[in-house]
Amino acid sequence: MKVKLFDESFLIRGTFTISRGSRTHAKVVVVELRQGEYVGRGECVPYARYDESIESVLAELAPLAVKIENGLTRQQMQSLLPAGAARNALDCAYWDLECKKSGHRIWEYLSVAKPQPLITAFTLSLDTPEKMKQAAIENAHRPLLKLKLAGEGDIERVAAVREGSPDARIIVDANEGWDEAQYLKFVPELVKLGVEMIEQPMPANNDSALARLPRPITLCADESCHDRSSLPHIIGRYDMINIKTDKTGGLTEAIALKKEAEEAGLQVMVGCMLATSLAMAPAFMVAQGVDVVDLDGPLLLAEDRESPIEFDDSLMKVFPASLWG
| 270: enclosing H helix or E strand | strand 267-270
Smallest CA-to-CA distance from 268 within 286, 252, 282, 247 is with 286
From the candidates 148, 185, 259, 317, which is the catalytic residue? 148
Residue 101 falls in the annotated catalytic set? no
Q: What is the 3-state secondary structure (H, E, C) of 7-59?
A: EEEEEEEEEEEECCEEEEEEEEEEEEEEECCEEEEEEECCCHHHCCCHHHHHH
Q: What are phi and psi of 13, to 5 degrees?
A: -75, 105
Smallest CA-to-CA distance from 93 within 250, 312, 210 is with 250
From the candidates 244, 247, 258, 259, which is the catalytic residue? 244
Tell me if 315 sits within 8 A of 116, measured CB to CB.
no
Name, in order, each residue with C-beta under 8 angstroms of 195's C-beta and a sequence gap of 6 or more: 158, 170, 171, 172, 217
Residue 317 falls in the annotated catalytic set? no
Tell me if 222 sits within 8 A of 197, measured CB to CB.
no
Classify residue 12 as left (phi > 0), alpha (psi -120 to 50) or beta: beta
Strand-pair category, 122-124 with 311-312: unpaired
How many Cβ atoms are within 10 Å of 23's Cβ, its own excluded?
13
Name beta bridge partners: 247.
Answer: none
Q: Hey, which residues are catalytic here? A: 148, 244
